[in-house]
Amino acid sequence: MNIELPDKFVSQLKPTDLMLDLACGMYSAGHLTLGQAAELAGCSQAAFQKELGHRGIAANYDMDELLRDVQAVAELTRK
């Protein structure tokens, strides 16, 4: 996919910053998972999470995910 931006905006942005902004926005909107957004941004998941924190963007983590994580931990501790 190609996205064309007016020259007045292109001169203000570096490609890496643009991809990070796009990844943060798409993650925040729920269009990408954390892993997908980090990949789009070209960084590790840990670095991407840190960037989300700097931008005040909350993690997309719901009760179903929490319950799955709790169950996984319970199974690991039984072994």
Q: For the segment 24-70, what is each residue's pLDDT rounded down to a tens digit?
A: 999 999 999 999 999 999 999 999 999 999 999 998 888 888 899 89
Q: How many residues does the chain have?
A: 79
SS3 of the chain: helix, strand, coil, percent, to 5:
65, 0, 35
Quote the radius of gyration of the chain (alpha carbons, Å).
17
Q: Whole-angstrom Cα distance, residue 50 to residue 46?
A: 6
Using DSSP, how many helices (H) and how many strands (E) does the chain show?
5, 0
Please tell me the pTM assigned to this model.
0.75
Q: Whole-angstrom Cα distance, residue 49 to residue 47?
A: 5
